[in-house]
């Protein structure tokens, strides 16, 4: 009986200590994304697509000034192109899972850097008339590398800025060795700490 009580007390202690090092919250903001395409050496950049992202985050304190910040975000990305006078928007939707290393440079200012895995949910081409067509040969997973900063406005709210550079090909078709499509995204937004 004593062993059982001791074990339960130890588990409760470590769980409480672990939770004391952890905080979590909600975040959201705007996306400014652009598609970079390489068609067998011929490179093109789209115009920016203005959209949004929303989700949640967790901060796990590792040591003084250092923490891990994993996130789960629904992100709307893509770009805009002009095809013969008709503006076409490539609208991509992904569930992004960044895992960021967070370092506090000075009080309230944190630098963020780390990888991001994206699960592509959908993709559509939309023209100015509202006609849509599904994006074919969309890769199910992508990888990006993010870096940026977060400023703690107060104990609950932070303002964040991040740049996510696409590392892997969004295109998964027959000619994927010759056609490379990557998305780069600037994110600006707010985070609200729940705990």
**Model confidence pLDDT, tens digit, residues 56-87:** 999 999 998 999 999 999 999 999 988 767 88
Span 18-39, average pLDDT: 87
How would you classify the pairing of strands 179-193 and 66-83?
Answer: unpaired
pLDDT tier, 176 (very low <50, low <70, confident <90, very high otherwise): confident
Q: Looking at residue 186, what is its pLDDT?
A: 97
CA distance 151 to 157: 9
131 or 98, greater pLDDT: 98
Using CA atoms in the order 50, 54, 58, 59, what is the torsion angle rounded to 10 degrees? 30
Residue 9 has pLDDT above 60, yes or no: no
Q: What is the pTM of this model?
A: 0.82
Task: State mean pLDDT over 92-118.
Answer: 96
Tell me the CATH architecture of domain 23-193. Answer: Beta Barrel (2.40)
Instruction: Look at residue 8 and tell me whether its pLDDT is greater than 60.
Output: no
CA neighbor of 57 nearest in space, from 157, 144, 154: 157
Q: Are 188 and 48 in contact (CB under 8 A)?
A: no
Q: So where are the chain's domains?
A: 23-193
| DSSP letter assigned to residue 20 | H
Give the per-residue pLDDT at 174.
Answer: 79
DSSP label of 194? -
What pLDDT score was predicted for residue 7?
53
pLDDT at residue 20, as a whole number = 54
Q: What is the pLDDT of residue 14?
A: 47
């Amino acid at each position: 009986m004593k062993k059982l009580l001791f074990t339960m007390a130890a588990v409760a202690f470590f769980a409480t200590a672990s939770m004391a090092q952890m905080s979590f919250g909600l975040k959201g903001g705007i996306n400014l994304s652009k598609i970079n395409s390489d068609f067998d050496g011929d490179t093109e950049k789209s115009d920016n697509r203005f959209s949004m992202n929303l989700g949640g985050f967790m901060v796990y304190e590792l040591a003084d000034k250092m923490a891990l910040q994993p996130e789960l975000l629904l992100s709307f990305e893509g770009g805009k192109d002009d095809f013969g006078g008709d503006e076409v928007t490539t609208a991509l939707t992904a569930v992004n899972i960044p895992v960021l290393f967070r370092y506090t440079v000075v009080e309230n200012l944190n630098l963020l850097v780390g990888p991001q895995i994206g699960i592509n949910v959908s993709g559509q081409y939309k023209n100015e008339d509202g006609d849509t067509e599904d994006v074919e040969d969309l890769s199910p997973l992508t990888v990006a590398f993010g870096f940026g900063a977060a400023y703690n406005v107060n104990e609950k709210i932070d303002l964040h800025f991040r740049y996510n550079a696409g590392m892997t090909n969004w295109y998964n078709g027959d000619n994927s060795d010759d056609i490379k499509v990557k998305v780069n995204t600037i994110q600006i937004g707010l985070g609200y700490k729940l705990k």
